[in-house]
């Protein structure tokens, strides 16, 4: 979905994507922990400066990230993240204007493979963590579950 540019006031947008961790990095648990810690450090350092909030989930060798903030900041961050070699196959799932932030308490909440999320996918009828298969309604529910996990 294309973001619309509003020249008068900068809109608040919510963007969600999923990607696969680079296969070389998924193999080694220590390396993986190191990578997620580094990403979170970068997110915590940069996001508050750009009024970005959100959540980053890692599970089933995949990332799911929801980024909220002023449209230009979200666009810039997406460009940076798209170039990051630590993951591949980035697929944008949602890109919408919103009135309110869902993750306003976090510059980037990080969740590593949480049972409540696995349970959510099982109940929704999926065998594994596959956010790209969710309907719009299920995506809203996933964001709620991530907020409270
Ligand atoms: C899955 C994933 C999520 C990321 N999320 C963020 C983020 O929310 N904020 C951020 O600044 N960098 C994030 N990064 C890292 C950026 O791609 C980039 O490496 C970083 O912004 C560079 O920061 P620096 O210029 O301070 O070194 C993410 C990377 C990956 C692979």
- What are the pLDDT digits (tens) for 35-82? 999 999 999 999 999 999 999 999 999 999 999 999 999 999 999 999
- Nearest-CA residue for ligand 1 atom 5 is 43
The band of 29, judged by pLDDT with boundaries at 50, 70 and 90, is confident
* Residue 66 in contact with ligand 1 by CB distance below 6 A: no
Query: How would you classify residue 5: left for phi > 0, otherwise alpha for psi between -120 and 50, otherwise beta?
Result: beta
Ligand 1 atom with least separation from CA of 87: 31
Q: Whose CA is nearest to atom 17 of ligand 1?
A: 81
pTM of the model: 0.93
Protein residue closest via CA to atom 13 of ligand 1:
43
Complete domains list, the chain, with CATH: 12-114 (3.30.70.100)
């Amino acid at each position: 979905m294309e973001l619309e540019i509003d020249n008068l006031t900068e809109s608040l947008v919510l963007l969600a994507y999923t990607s696969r961790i680079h296969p070389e990095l998924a193999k080694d648990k220590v390396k993986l922990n190191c990578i997620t810690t580094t990403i979170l450090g970068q997110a915590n350092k940069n996001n508050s400066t750009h009024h970005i909030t959100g959540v980053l989930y890692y599970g089933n060798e995949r990332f799911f990230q929801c980024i909220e903030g002023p449209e230009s900041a979200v666009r810039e961050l997406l460009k940076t993240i798209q170039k990051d070699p630590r993951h591949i196959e980035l697929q944008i799932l949602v890109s919408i204007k919103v009135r309110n932030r869902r993750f306003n308490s976090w510059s980037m909440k990080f969740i590593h493979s949480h049972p409540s999320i696995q349970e959510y996918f099982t109940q929704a009828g999926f065998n594994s963590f596959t956010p790209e298969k969710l309907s719009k309604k299920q995506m809203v529910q996933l964001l709620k579950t991530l907020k409270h996990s």
